[in-house]
Amino acid sequence: MYNDWLTIGRFTIHGYGVMIAIGILFGFTYAERQAKKHGLNSDYADNLIFIAIAFGYACAKLTYVLVNWNQFLSDPKAVLGSGGWVVYGGILGGILAAYIYCRMRKLKFKDYFDLLLPGVSLAQAFGRVGCFFAGCCYGIETHSHFGVTFPAHSLAPSGVPLVPTQLLSALGDLIIFLVLYRMYENEKTRTYTGAGYLVLYSLGRFLIEFLRGDVERGHIGFLSTSQFISVFMMLAGVILIMKLRSTHSGNQSDMIE
């Protein structure tokens, strides 16, 4: 809601950027500690995080360009120079970069996939608080007691109470992190952690989209772009869970025989 925290000359510290940085720091710290705790190489985990962040941000901007393709064609500088990003583009881009890195280093991708995804959810929780400070990703107009009115300099429409979808998303991401943390700490459910993220985040994002009021994020048919991606990402998570269950059942049968 109040994004400009401190201005010194031409330099301004923005709440959005601060929360993004804090989220990355917390996610990084979590993944590094978990890697050391569970016998994975923390150096490889660190490298994966840096590569996934860099490639993820690039893909988040690329996806934003594709969603706003007509505007990009008419005014490319406005689109490229804006603060617009598509979270799903960043997630999928980061996962792809991590997969390529693991293949190059001959690492078992699934181990690091399960390790890093809880930290991603934790970072996203802080990032959504940053969205609240900036006013982006705002909700539809509401007359409930939970409505928030943003100031004139915010990215959200001012003067009307809006559903604070940013805070709802932050709370959802934090809950997902706690669930995934418990899953990863339990040896019986650890291998389902990454798949759990795909299902839980996609479900939450699909539902929160009904409350979003920023129409510029694009649509595919009657679904928003994010809802459309959510469907396939959730299916991927369900298929992965089924595959893991089948593999575990097969291993148990072999042990009984």
Burial class, 21, CB count within 10 angstroms (exposed 0-12 / middle 13-18 / buried 19+): middle
Integer Cα distance of 197 and 98 in angstroms: 16
pLDDT band at 217 (very low <50, low <70, confident <90, very high): low
Confidence of residue 257 (pLDDT cuts 50, 70, 90): very low
Residue 244 lies in a domain: no
Average confidence score pLDDT of the chain: 88
In a domain, 196, yes or no: no
- State the average pLDDT over residues 200-208: 96
Residue 128 CA, distance from chain mean position: 9
- In which domain, by residue range, is 101 found? 4-180
Distance CA 216, CA 214 (A): 6
163 in a structural domain = yes
Residues contacting 8, CB < 8 A, separation 6+: none
Rounded to whole angstroms, the maximal C-alpha distance in the chain is 74
pTM for this predicted structure: 0.88
More confident residue, 152 or 170: 170
Checking DSSP bridges between strand 4-8 and strand 223-224, what pairing results, if any? Answer: unpaired
- Per-residue pLDDT tens over the stretch 97-146: 999 999 999 999 999 999 999 999 999 999 999 999 989 889 999 998 88
Residue 202 domain-assigned (yes or no): no
Q: Total structural domains in the chain?
A: 1
Hey, how many other C-beta atoms are within 10 angstroms of the C-beta on 252? 10
The pLDDT assigned to 79 comes to 63
Question: Over the range 26-65, which residues count as b (16 or more CB within 10 Å of their CB) and which as e?
Answer: bbbebbbebbeeeebeeebbeebbeebbebbbebbbebbb
Other CB atoms within 10 A of residue 193 CB: 23
What three-state secondary structure class fits 91?
A: helix
Summarised one tens digit per residue, pLDDT across range 53-79 is: 899 888 888 887 887 777 777 777 766
**Assigned domain for 39 exists:** yes
